[in-house]
Copies of this chain bind each other. A is one copy, B any other.
Amino acid sequence: MTASDAYVVGTGSALPGPPVDNAELARHFPVNAEWIERFIGTRTRHFAVDLATGEQRTGLAELAATAAGQALAKAGVEPDEVSFVVLGTASPDSLMPATVNLAADILGIDRVPTFQLQSGCAGAVQALETAMALLSPDRPLGLVIGGDVCAKHMDLRRGLGKLPPSELVNYAIFGDGAGAAVLSAQPAPGALAVRHVLNRFTGLGRPPGQVINWYGAAGRADGEQPVVEDYKAIEARVPVMAGEILWELLDRTGWDAGTISYLLPPQLSGVMTPRIVKELGLPGTVEVSVVAEVGNNGNALPFLQLDRLAEMVRPGERAVAVAVESSKWLKAGFTLEGV
């Protein structure tokens, strides 16, 4: 959708614990640090679980509230001025209550509509679009959050040596974190105007590229794998989809590629992202990436990129963000302009 009156007026980030580098990862899991450097390219990530003790030190609600608190502070907005809250996540703390409400509780926000979108990387962009649609003269300030915590899928008790490589690799790829943005119907100095947002399901008839299961009281069915990825399909399709998203976004926004200052590319891994950036071919742009330092923390990523972008962008400068969710092949992205 196109909106001439939605502005990012504050951003925030939250990452649990100290960064975990590949050498430390290799001390806890049967993985090879050099192999990770070369084939995943992610140098550090943050986990809600303390690998040394197995204790979970924080949840998504706390991370979301921390990132949101930072965004509100930067925007100079009090919690009771927020008109609504939207959270995007693939890994809620529980199925009910929705984590967005627990985050609101921590922030001291009450008596406003809350929405939580279930999705992977595209969820952050869905949250942004939902917030833009909800902005109105009666609801001038939206709090938008994205985050993921993979603690429930980190099985530190099982014999990790018995895990297949396809499961072990997830410990090297993924990470935990949250990011947030305050969206306003009014511009402010240093704000980012949101020019166009794209969200599109393109998976008709296509098998999922990523499946993440959950289990209830009945437990896991025999032989069911909690996290399944089709890495070949991801490697083949994501760069193509990223290109399609980029060019459609520029076309819809009416921007020439030569006028773009910043590119926020899909954040799959430290190896995949540079490959995609190269294929996208926008040589004059500054790449804004975080995945090599924070890992793939899903719905947090676009907000972490936005948080970094907000420190650099000057009035009139243009940025394009591209996100791909391989689960059921969702295209997502948005265009921004410094005001």
Contact = CB atoms under 8 A, between A and B. Distances in A.
A219 interface: yes
Interface in A62-105: 85, 90-92, 94-98, 101-102, 104-105
A240 interface: no
A208 interface: yes
20 contacts: A85-B201, A91-B95, A92-B118, A97-B210, A97-B327, A101-B203, A101-B327, A101-B328, A110-B201, A111-B204, A112-B200, A112-B201, A113-B129, A118-B118, A130-B130, A153-B216, A154-B218, A156-B218, A213-B216, A215-B219
Please give the count of copies of this chain that the complex contains: 2
A159 to B, nearest CB: 13
Q: Number of contact residues on A: which range applies?
A: 35 or more
Contact of A90 (B96, B119, B138): B96
A277 interface: no
Interface in A180-233: 199-205, 208, 210-220, 226-227
Contact of A94 (B92, B98, B199, B212): B212
A217 B119 CA distance: 19
Given A95-B213, A214-B214, A200 B156 contact: no
A312 interface: no
A36 interface: no
Given A108-B204, A116-B118, A157-B219, 12 more contacts: A95-B118, A97-B328, A101-B330, A110-B201, A113-B129, A115-B126, A130-B134, A152-B217, A155-B219, A157-B218, A215-B216, A219-B219
Given A95-B91, A202-B110, A214-B215, A117 B120 contact: no
